[in-house]
Structure 1
Amino acid sequence: MSTVTLLCWNFENNGKSDSRRRRAGDEKLKALNPDIVFRQELWDADANGRTIFNDQARALRLQGVLGESSCTAVFFNPAKFSVVRDWSQSRGPHWVLPPTALTLRYEDAGPEALPFNAVSYHLNYASATQRLLESEWLTTWADKGWSTADGTHVTLPAFLAGDNNSYPTPGGPGDPALPDLASIKNEPHRLHRSYAGPSGTQVPDTRPDAAFRMAGLKDVALYWATAPHGAPAALSRTVNACDTHGPDSRVDRAYLTPELLPAVLGFEVIEVDEDLSDHHILRFTLDSDQFAGVLARGATGEPG
């Protein structure tokens, strides 16, 4: 069976400003044989004419688009995908760390098939209010219109993956519980990961997850963990517990539009050593024939 592999990783400070560590991270990603990589924290990758970024693309054997200020990037396999549109974003009131958003064509689906949107994002670290604003804007990529060859207006499928700096509402066995805020020893971080609930009491921030779900997006890990053929381990932590930041959490997540769910073959969290990064790697795979079929049917106006 032919597959498409997608990875998401907040690789801490792009190797913590250490070229050897950065290369080790790139080699780890390459060994997972990805077709699309959603990356966050590529600080300084744009310096000197994007020398570092271009070196990383070569290391991965992929092409890539680096977002503004090296906040995010999307890499892709040029043998399978091509860029239809680059939705470049700038810093502003609705983006502290701008996302990288591309419309990609899956070549194996054929020239008449729909393209799809692929978005790498990194929600704000310190403000629950800002995160909600950013997540609301991110849902616009699940609502991008497209005119098919016969003039039918349809909505493009979409993948969104990144660091949410907030929690999902636990949805299945093994999903990390929401933290008791008092267990977060660092008081500023306690504020950063919470918001004032209806009673005025601070509660853990789950609002980005709620916004994505309200917009119809599906948490891939939750889908796979609760599917009859799936695996509960899909809900594994993506960030380890620590004294200052509280318990294990699943702050890194991937979402997709529901017509893509039948193509999902698996989801897992690949843990990495804390010396390499403070976040683990998400890997999810698609059945390439099912994926191509969803895109082809979408171009005829049929449901995925």
Structure 2
Amino acid sequence: MTELRVLVWNVKKGEHLTEAGAYVAAVRPDVWLAQEILPRHVAPFELATDMRCYPAAPATTSPNDNAIFIRPGSWFEVAEEYKHPDGAWHPPANLAVRDAACREERGGRRISLVSHHLCYFSADRRLSEAEWCTTLAKPGWLAIIGGDWNSYPSGAGPAPSLWASLLEDDNPCLDRALYVNRTYEESGIRHTDDRPDRLLRAAGFVDAARYARDELSQDLAMDPTTGHGDLERQGGRWRIDRVYLSEELAPTITNVQGGDASAVGALSDHLPVLLTLDSHKVRALLRPHGSATATATATATATAI
């Protein structure tokens, strides 16, 4: 095995369960960071994809759960499963995985996997939910965090003119709720919400698509992922679904495939993102003393968040 494939996809409450399962099965990811997985859809998705589901703690706020699907027999294994029932509109799914081959070797590192779906209606709540991710940015920790961020990459969200057009009284696409939900107020002015992206990158996480564009010349990695089939409601096509990873993991990226409408048709209003990593490089990081920060790793990675 020379690559590790991580799929990020919000399946819109499994409205096209059979077709969505067939798509994931065809992609054959090692990890699927999934959003809007209804509890009754867990077993059908497991059967269709031949993967095991680790759902997030159930929420009283929404039945649309986050989940992480893992392919059995991959070179890594699940070391810990963490539940976070409080503090998020959609509690994140969170696993720690390790290289099965160095299970008995002291000091081996782990990767924290997170499937996240930030609150759609509150910029302040989104910011708080994104802040939780910084608990995985400690020195020596490795993390891959993917999901539906319901906010924009910095420098790439709707311009003020777009929001102004949505607010015109004679605009058939009038959606003041979207305007309020996707902006935040500061000094009496509403701004496009890009704060989760800015916060994660300030904490040291790397936006995989940006890295692929800038370091690998993969411009298509920046393709939009949302608005598909629901342009009016979502204000256009934007890169709402993103994957972030620890800076140490960034050089292991070999490919980021952005949203491709031709791949999934109208199965969801979100398009999938497929992240491919060099598994040999990832494995080298997980080995004892696999990085300059390994001296701090044994203690750091053994502590549950």
User: Shorter-chain TM-score: which interval?
Assistant: 0.7 to 0.9
CA positional deviation for 1:109 = 5.8
Match of 1:11 in 2: 11
* 1:82 to 1:294, Cα distance in 2 relative to 1, 3 A: same
SS of aligned partner of 2:242: strand
Count of aligned pairs between the two proteins: 275
CA positional deviation for 1:108 = 4.8
CA contact (8 A) 1:176 1:236 kept: no
Match of 1:163 in 2: 148
Match of 2:193 in 1: 205
SS of aligned partner of 2:39: coil
SS of aligned partner of 1:168: coil
CA positional deviation for 1:297 = 5.3
CA positional deviation for 1:178 = 4.6
Deviations 1:15-54 (A, max 9, x none): 2xxxxx2011011011011000000001233xxxxxx312
Match of 2:219 in 1: 232
CA contact (8 A) 2:148 2:240 kept: yes
Consecutive unaligned residues of structure 2, counting only runs of 5 or more, are 59-63, 167-173, 298-305
Letter in 2 for 1:82: E
Match of 1:181 in 2: 163
Equivalents in 1 of 2:259, 2:20: separation in Å? 13
Deviations 1:63-108 (A, max 9, x none): 1201123510001122123211111110x3x211100000011325
Letter in 1 for 2:128: L
CA positional deviation for 1:232 = 1.1
* 1:118 to 1:134, Cα distance in 2 relative to 1, 3 A: same
1:57 to 32, 41, 46: 46
Letter in 1 for 2:239: R
Letter in 2 for 1:33: R
State whether structure 2 residue 270 is matched by structure 1 residue 288: no
1:263 to 252, 276, 287: 252
Consecutive unaligned residues of structure 1, counting only runs of 5 or more, are 16-20, 46-51, 144-153
* 1:130 to 1:255, Cα distance in 2 relative to 1, 3 A: same
State whether structure 2 residue 20 is matched by structure 1 residue 29: no
Superposed, 1:142-161 pairs within 5 Å as: 142-143=137-138, 155-161=140-146
Q: What is the TM-score normalised by the length of structure 2?
A: 0.84
State whether structure 2 residue 70 is matched by structure 1 residue 88: no
Match of 1:71 in 2: 65
CA contact (8 A) 1:110 1:296 kept: no
Superposed, 1:43-54 pairs within 5 Å as: 43-45=38-40, 52-54=41-43
Equivalents in 2 of 1:54, 1:136: separation in Å? 32
Q: What is the TM-score normalised by the length of structure 1?
A: 0.84
* 1:300 to 1:259, Cα distance in 2 relative to 1, 3 A: closer
Deviation >6 Å, runs of 4+: none
CA contact (8 A) 1:167 1:178 kept: no
Match of 1:100 in 2: 93
CA positional deviation for 1:156 = 2.2
Equivalents in 2 of 1:63, 1:276: separation in Å? 22
Equivalents in 1 of 2:69, 2:102: separation in Å? 19
Percent of aligned pairs with the same residue? 29
CA contact (8 A) 1:82 1:105 kept: yes
SS of aligned partner of 1:68: coil
User: RMSD between aligned alpha carbons?
Assistant: 2.1
